[in-house]
Structure 1
């Protein structure tokens, strides 16, 4: 009997000579994904991470093809701190991207900081924000993001999903909280694997030789079960890796040079 859930497609890896070339091609990919989503349903749903990722979106800032008013932006994970705190992913994205473009403030869905003292309530409120955007419009069991942009940690974590943590087995919640993150700050909320694995496109971005060892493990040895390896959306979902040659130097998996 055929499976009701088609197996995930193998990841597509694009490796570029420099971080600048990576950013240029990533921007072009995002613009194409935006056009497809806006043409189909009039909006573009995106989840962003923090770390070095916001800086790598700089080629979008002056791109006239970006329709910022059509973007609905959520956060793949967030640290449970005030919005102006240096650890806040929202604050980082605001500094690097939002403050430089014309995206409406109401299209940026940040955490409710009045709930920082109750992580369960904070996660529930963020899940309700997702339900408001997705369930009422798409009638899906889980949200289907047009695009989720992720980074990777040196231990193979992504979002705030860390190796061997109980959250890796979460199957029902859209948003979960964590009080014992091995990387500070300890209190966070995060999208769960069911959400990541229902996305149309998940793009991991990695640059620099410091990512070489963990990148080769994630891609060439997925059976190791690192969190980033577990992001495997079923068809038509697809995982892409946008990396530079320094990061992919130890990867054995076939690499594609992607040119516009």
Structure 2
């Protein structure tokens, strides 16, 4: 019987059929500790490559406790951290600045929660445009969007990522880098979020999911058998890197419908 890393490798190979794109990968981990270790190793590898090639590692993280709890990688390297892929203005500022520590002073760019949601989104986009202008953050070769070295997201039970919710008009934005919403179905109602073009322009995108309540959303986001006009609106399914790689980090519970389908079970209802 295979054990350790060999067993993990076999497990990853067993879900290869669920890869939505040729530049996508799925990793299924046994528990949260294993996921945290795997995620930290992955971030370390991407950061080392980025620093070697560009002199900087630009990472952007979404809000919420899931990503924050898993990101425990410590560094004194020239990381650039944007803590604002999505953020509710009612969140504690302290929580947002704890996502990646320690980073050199002046290298963390957070959303200003002392402004209105509209002004905060405008100012945050200006900050990112300045970082792109001086090439601290790269620029996509396919469009004028920023090209982050890594964007780290989590998926919720409704399939939303960042603060992009199912059937919301923000999903259709093409020219904005940062936008705001005032009608979030989840509290808080006012949020700021990266748009899909920015997310999809990243060199690397990682989506993290844990728990059985995410299993259906994960299935419909990943499975190739859910195309067509009757397919549910899953924002996470719209994460399709333009010229990058997508990596899913799943625990056994969140991957349960994928594994059930692999065994020949019927598609679940969403």
Identify the TM-score tier after normalising by the shorter chain: 0.7 to 0.9
1:70 aligned residue (75, 78, 81): 78
1:197 aligns with 2:200: yes
1:54 aligned residue (50, 68, 78): 68
Q: Quick one: distance in 2 between partners of 1:139 and 1:14?
A: 28
- Residue 177 to residue 93, structure 1, CA distance change in 2 (3 Å): closer
**Which residue number corresponds to residue 102 of structure 1?**
102
- Aligned-pair Cα RMSD in Å: 2.0
Post-superposition CA distance 1:190-248 (Å, at most 9, x none): 0000100100111001112222222112111365341010010123x111101111211
Q: Do the aligned residues in 1 keep the contact of 2:27 with 2:250 (CA within 8 Å)?
A: yes
TM-score using structure 1 length? 0.82
Structure 1 residue ranges without an equivalent (≥5): 1-6, 82-86, 255-260
Q: Following superposition of structure 1 onto structure 2, how do residues 175-186 of structure 1 map, counting pairs within 5 Å?
A: 175-186=178-189
- Residue 246 to residue 134, structure 1, CA distance change in 2 (3 Å): same
Post-superposition CA distance 1:120-146 (Å, at most 9, x none): 222110001101111332455000000
**Which residue number corresponds to residue 4 of structure 1?**
none
Q: Point out which structure has higher relative CO (alpha carbons under 8 A, 6+ apart).
A: 1
- Residue 111 to residue 93, structure 1, CA distance change in 2 (3 Å): closer
- Residue 139 to residue 233, structure 1, CA distance change in 2 (3 Å): closer
- Residue 136 to residue 14, structure 1, CA distance change in 2 (3 Å): same
Q: Quick one: distance in 2 between partners of 1:179 and 1:202?
A: 26
Q: How many Å apart are 1:92 and its aligned residue? A: 2.2
1:232 aligns with 2:240: yes
Q: How many Å apart are 1:29 and its aligned residue? A: 0.7
- Residue 222 to residue 244, structure 1, CA distance change in 2 (3 Å): farther
Q: Do the aligned residues in 2 keep the contact of 1:178 with 1:189 (CA within 8 Å)?
A: yes
Q: How many Å apart are 1:156 and its aligned residue? A: 0.5
Q: Quick one: distance in 1 between partners of 2:112 and 2:85?
A: 15
Q: Do the aligned residues in 2 keep the contact of 1:135 with 1:143 (CA within 8 Å)?
A: no
**Which residue number corresponds to residue 258 of structure 1?**
none
Structure 2 residue ranges without an equivalent (≥5): 1-19, 263-270
**Which residue number corresponds to residue 123 of structure 2?**
125
Q: Following superposition of structure 1 onto structure 2, how do residues 211-226 of structure 1 map, counting pairs within 5 Å?
A: 211-220=214-223, 221=226, 224=231, 225-226=233-234
Q: Quick one: distance in 2 between partners of 1:36 and 1:93?
A: 26
**Which residue number corresponds to residue 255 of structure 2?**
248
Q: Do the aligned residues in 1 keep the contact of 2:209 with 2:251 (CA within 8 Å)?
A: yes
**Which residue number corresponds to residue 150 of structure 1?**
153
Q: Do the aligned residues in 2 keep the contact of 1:174 with 1:192 (CA within 8 Å)?
A: yes
TM-score using structure 2 length? 0.79
| Number of residue equivalences | 230
Q: Following superposition of structure 1 onto structure 2, how do residues 164-183 of structure 1 map, counting pairs within 5 Å?
A: 164-183=167-186
Q: Do the aligned residues in 1 keep the contact of 2:78 with 2:104 (CA within 8 Å)?
A: no
